[in-house]
């Protein structure tokens, strides 16, 4: 399968998938990185791996609609079977979500449906939960609401701050996202309403 990525920043989850593909764990090829941020470190990672980069600089457009039009053109250009949102920090418009319905996934650093949106790890600490984690889900028109593909959990420890918890969750993200991409590429995901079965 052809796998493309939409990333806004550091790209460590993108790297985890690149590594799993390079290791032969995922039957796919990484065909493009699309980013809204010309400073994203993910760009270096893509270049190192020989993955084409398309920068659609959010700041370069007068309106969100104009930005999304350009983003959609870049995304279509990848001719991807799967689009992976790995730290894409904006909400996608319904046009894009509909076009890639069933073949776009997102990684979120919380056990959804708890703590959607920004600063999920801080929300978890402030709420006082004892277990936290990450979720890979298909993207629907809501924010962090689509059918869940993979979740992994970690303990919240007494002296945790946001950074320590985020680091512990991130280590699990780097397992969860390659697994979800692998299952997709192996045609092993079966979506049944809200529920995703692994065959």
Binding residues (CB under 6 A) for ligand GRF: these are 9-13, 86-87, 107-109, 170, 173
Please confirm, yes or no, whether 174 is among the known catalytic residues. Answer: no
Q: Which of 108, 119, 137, 174 is catalytic?
A: 108
Smallest gap from Cβ 107 to ligand GRF, in A, equals 4
- In whole angstroms, the minimum distance from the beta carbon of 21 to ligand GRF comes to 15
Q: How many CB atoms lie within 10 A of CB 152?
A: 18
User: Coil, strand or helix: which one is 21?
Assistant: helix
Long-range pairs for 100-104 at CB < 8 Å and ≥24 separation?
Answer: 100/75, 100/139, 101/139, 101/140, 102/138, 102/191, 103/184, 104/138, 104/139
Instruction: Give the residue with the Cβ less far from ligand GRF, 32 or 87.
Output: 87
User: Residue of minimal CB distance from ligand GRF?
Assistant: 87
Nearer to ligand GRF, 90 or 103 (CB): 90
> How many whole angstroms from its chain centre is CA 52?
18
CB nearer to ligand GRF: pick between 105 and 107 = 107
Q: How far is the CB of 166 from ligand GRF (least distance, A)?
A: 7
What DSSP element (H or E) covers 186?
none
The residues assigned a catalytic role are 108
């Amino acid at each position: 399968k052809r796998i493309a990525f939409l990333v806004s920043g550091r790209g460590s989850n993108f790297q985890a998938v690149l590594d799993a593909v390079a290791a032969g764990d995922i039957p796919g090829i990484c065909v493009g990185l699309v980013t809204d941020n010309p400073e994203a470190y993910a760009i270096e990672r893509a270049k190192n791996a020989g993955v084409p980069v398309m920068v659609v600089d959010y700041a370069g457009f007068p309106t969100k609609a104009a930005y999304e039009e350009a983003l959609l053109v870049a995304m279509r250009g990848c001719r991807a079977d799967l689009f992976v949102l790995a730290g894409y920090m904006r909400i996608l418009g319904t046009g894009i979500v509909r076009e890639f319905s069933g073949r776009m996934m997102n990684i979120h650093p919380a056990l959804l449906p708890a703590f959607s949106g920004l600063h999920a790890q801080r929300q978890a600490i402030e709420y006082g939960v004892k277990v936290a984690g990450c979720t890979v889900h298909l993207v629907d028109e809501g924010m962090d609401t689509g059918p869940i593909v993979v979740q992994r959990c970690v303990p919240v420890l007494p002296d945790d701050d946001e950074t320590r918890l985020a680091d512990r969750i991130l280590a699990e993200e780097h397992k969860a996202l390659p697994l979800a991409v692998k299952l997709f590429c192996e045609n092993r995901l079966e979506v049944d309403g809200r529920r995703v079965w692994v065959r």
